[in-house]
Amino acid sequence: MDDAPSCTPQDLIRWSEALAGIARTGLGFTDSLYERERFEEVLAVAADIRVAAGSHFESDTLVDEWMKGVGAGVAGYQTPKVAIGAVVGNDEGEILLVQRADSGVWLYPTGWADIGYSPAEVAIKEVAEETGIECEVVGLIGVLDGLRRGFSRIPLYSLVFHCRAVGGALAAHPLETSDVGWFREDELPSPLAGAESWGPMAFAAIRGDALPPHFDPPRDPPWRT
């Protein structure tokens, strides 16, 4: 029994969201009453798992919220949300960080992908809106699985771009950010969200190190920690 894999609350959240996604996708692609009943049972089990992981909502509430996202056909296929992050560097080798107004933590500018924009265009827009800095996109640092890395409680993929500042002046967004600033690698602010995960990649990009885009390697099976 000593070799049994450990289970964390984040694992439970990941498994719960995976089951809920499978069930909602199934509901969107079947007209069989029998299959719909089975998928709704799976959804209820997923909600119980999420409650066990520490959800602030009751199981019935979670099921109701998940059911609101059930569509028909392709529109009902459940996929992770997409977030766009921008690691912006300047000529002094500093990184541009924002203090989020909702949580108080520091992070590079990031936001949800917008329809009608390419991912790189979203990166430029988010930086300008959140910090007042104008930037150009240099390249892709990586694609990160938010649930797997533990920095999200909902399914999301984060596309993180390396950007270079080309103009503008620091100006915090009046609603989204409470502060903005440039920081050296050895003088990062606190509290800082997940720097152990993205920090080395971010400053390697700012230094100009030639690195391939990062991605979370496949697991076998994918449900293991």
DSSP string, 24-50: HHHHHH---HHHHHHHHHHHHHHHHHH
pLDDT confidence bin for 1, thresholds 50/70/90:
very low
Do 15 and 40 share a structural domain? yes
Q: What is the pLDDT of residue 188?
A: 93
Average pLDDT estimate for 36-60: 92
Average pLDDT estimate for 49-54: 90
Q: Work out the percent of the chain whose per-residue pLDDT is above 70.
A: 97
Do 85 and 69 share a structural domain? no
Q: How many domains does the chain have?
A: 2
Q: Which of 51, 76, 101 is the last residue of a domain?
A: 76
Do 62 and 106 share a structural domain? no
Do 94 and 60 share a structural domain? no
Q: What is the pLDDT of residue 10?
A: 84
Cα 208 from Cα 89, distance rounded (Å): 10
The range of the structural domain enclosing residue 54 comes to: 9-76
Do 91 and 56 share a structural domain? no
Q: What is the pLDDT of residue 56?
A: 83
Report yes or no on 144 lying in a domain: yes
Q: What is the pLDDT of residue 194?
A: 80
Q: Which of 31, 61, 76 is the last residue of a domain?
A: 76
Strand partners, 81: 156
Do 180 and 138 share a structural domain? yes
Q: What is the pLDDT of residue 225?
A: 64
Q: Work out the percent of the chain whose per-residue pLDDT is above 90.
A: 66
- Please give the span between the terminal C-alpha atoms of the chain, in angstroms, as a whole number: 17
Report yes or no on 220 lying in a domain: no
Asked if the model's pLDDT at residue 4 lies above 80, the reply is no
Do 184 and 99 share a structural domain? yes
Average pLDDT estimate for 102-125: 94
